[in-house]
Amino acid sequence: MNQTSVTTAPAFLRDPPRFLFFTGKGGVGKTSIACATAVRLADEGASVLLVSTDPASNVGQVFGVTVGAHVTPIAAVPGLSALDIDPAEAARVYRERIVGPVRGLLPALEVAAIEEQLSGACTTEIASFNEFTDLLTDAAWAAAYDHIIFDTAPTGHTIRLLQLPGSWTDFLTEGTGDASCLGPLSGLDKQRGIYADAVAALADPARTRLVLVGRPAASALAEAARTHDELAGIGLGRQFLVVNGILPAAAVDGDPLAAAIHEREERALAQLPGSLAPLTLDRVALKNSNMVGVSALRGLFGDTPDAATPVGEQTAPLAAAPLGALIDEIAADGHGLIMLMGKGGVGKTTLAAAIAVALAERGLPVHLTTTDPAAHLNETLAGDVLPTLTVSRIDPAVEIARYTEHVLRTRGAALDEAGRAMLREDLRSPCTEEIAVFQAFSRATREARDSFVVMDTAPTGHTLLLIDATGSYDREVKRQLAPGLTLTTPMMKLQDPAQTKVIVVTLAETTPVLEAVGLQDELQRAGIMPWAWIVNNSIAAAHPDALLLRERARGELAEITRVRAVHAARLAIVPLQRQAPVGIRALRQLG
């Protein structure tokens, strides 16, 4: 049973250690919680440094100042300063430090392959960690600040890599690494001692506190549980849980939509995943606007909603953008691969099921499949069946085992036990999962010649380019093709909108939209242009009556307008539903 604290005195802020790390998926409110924590500690007389490593950081916007790579005092809060570590810039500098010495010495194609290997999320993680190791280990920082607060923590995968024994440089130089995440570690042996000290600081609860941030939704809490398990697996088990944005009973205001949301959230909180249940839980109420300004931050940990103020008519009414219009256009092709992509918690599984059901109800043959370990398609369909709809799941664990066995049998055959141990760790990286799953995707694409294949969760643009840059199936087949013959590879199918329609899914909030834009940029680097966007769970599109929700709806309009005008070739907006869309009837209504 959870110990639930009173939110005016958050449990995670009792006897706080020097370092506090806030971690969680995009859009759950990490930055707001971190900023409010920094203000609270500074108001109590502590000297505080707030550090963001979030690629979608808006710390400067929250405080109304420009925050960059240098420590910036926050004038409105005596004792508080802020620092932004730009992950993209850190990764660029980091990449150049490794690639620079070989540029001009190696063929251009080999240099390009190295650069692509260093272009993914793993490099960004390692580079960002490299930037803040000084903050964890340098005595000068400890002398300057009572508390250092980090908005976004390193993943368990990053820490495991930093704990690897042996020589990373030799491992890569000998060519025993694969298309993986060990590339970012090349040449870092000199910093092993500093990294060891930083990892030790992270694992010491007397010095560091890890705070998981989530939303009161089953999918978001499942994501938080996976983060908890990953960190606990490498010794960081002392964690706290904050569930942000809970709609209070007092804000229901007689609105059926608000009442249904409140009931659904309380049910999700009552059914926490098993690994989260023992954690001390802080509940933070939903506010009627974004957390901008010191006054708003000081009120974030209050246990009642903001005083509701009358809301005027929206000056720019939300234009209709029904999901059904996208489905009509998809159905007109008669067959094809439909891939829904986006960060965790945005509703890809539900939307994939809704699209598949709508196509199947037109009598079209449809195969609905997913690689998401948290996706329960059968539960989403509630056991309902349609004659032309088949459902399956690509099991990442099975695909990883198959790929790992192949690499160990080939690349690892000549290695000693230490080398094979490093190769096994290399193969535990996120890149390995994406590459292994991509192979399963490639098999499934063949079905799309004669039917629809709807896929929930797809490989990132980095993974696609990494495969291509390291002698992938796509490049090898093209090289061996006889003169005068043509062949369509899986990569070419993904790049052809007539065969594959990639749909980006997001929420109408700042961080999820920024992350979706980053995903689109990655795909475009791989020659894949997203066909459409879906803004899911829109409060504005649901036309609520409760004043608090009407204020939240007003805040969505700017994000939706930006997506429509700048990012999306096609757009659908799916309203927030009173009840979870489970079963064919409910999924039909989404479309």
Domain boundaries, the chain: 11-298, 323-399+444-590
For the annotated catalytic residues, the residue numbers are 27, 29-32, 54, 511
497 burial (CB, 10 Å; 0-12 / 13-18 / 19+) is middle
What gap in Å lies between CA 230 and CA 233, rounded to an integer?
A: 5
Task: Please tell me the distance from the alpha carbon of residue 375 to that of residue 372, in angstroms, as a whole number.
Answer: 5
User: 323-399+444-590 in CATH: which number?
Assistant: 3.40.50.300
Quick check: helix, strand or coil at residue 188? Answer: coil
Task: Please answer whether residues 27 and 290 qualify as being in contact, where contact means their C-beta atoms are separated by less than 8 angstroms.
Answer: no
Kindly report the CATH number that applies to the domain delimited by 11-298. 3.40.50.300
d(CA 554, CA 560): 11
Other C-beta atoms within 10 Å of 205: how many? 13
- Report which of 96, 54, 81, 244 is spatially closest to residue 148, judged by C-alpha positions: 81
Least confident range of 150-159, 231-240, 262-271? 150-159
Neighbours of 484 (CB within 10 A): 5
Q: Are the folds of 11-298 and 323-399+444-590 the same?
A: yes
Q: Quick check: 375 and 456 in contact, CB under 8 A?
A: yes
Best CA proximity match to 243, nearest among 57, 576, 10: 10
Phi first, then psi: what are they for 209, rounded to 5°?
-125, 125
CB atoms within 10 A of CB 473: 15
Answer whether residue 4 shows pLDDT above 70: no
Closest alpha carbon to 159 in 205, 211, 120, 197 = 197
Q: How confident is the model at residue 43 (pLDDT cuts 50, 70, 90)?
A: very high
Cα 369 to chain centroid distance, Å, stands at 20
Lowest mean pLDDT among 32-46, 72-86, 314-328, 574-588: 314-328
Give the residue-averaged pLDDT of 332-339.
92
What SS3 class is residue 155? coil
Strand 80-84 and strand 72-73: pairing? antiparallel
Looking at the DSSP bridge assignments, the partners of residue 575 are 538
Beta bridge partners of 533: 504, 571
- The answer to whether 292 and 274 are in contact (CB under 8 A) is no
Over the chain, what is the mean pLDDT? 80
**Where is 527: in which H helix or E strand?**
none
Residue 306: name the closest of 284, 283, 289 by CA.
289
The answer to whether the predicted template modeling score (pTM) of the entire model surpasses 0.85 is no
Distances (CA, A) of 324 to 140, 146, 450, 534: 59, 55, 22, 11
Is residue 80 very low, low, confident or very high in pLDDT (cuts 50, 70, 90)? very high
Per cent of the chain over pLDDT 90 is 31
Taking residues 368-397, what's their average pLDDT? 76
User: Mean pLDDT throughout 344-355?
Assistant: 87
**Spatial distance between the Cα atoms of 323 and 574, rounded to a whole number of angstroms:** 7
Distances from the Cα of 583 to the Cαs of 42, 360, 386, 404, 590, in angstroms?
A: 50, 14, 11, 37, 11
How many residues would you count in the chain?
591
pLDDT of 216 > 80? The answer is yes
Residue, of 394 and 330, whose pLDDT is higher: 330
**Residue 12: pLDDT band with limits 50, 70, 90:** very high
**556 burial class (0-12, 13-18, 19+ CB within 10 angstroms)?**
buried
Q: Above pLDDT 70, what percent of the chain?
A: 79
Strand partners, 242: 213, 282
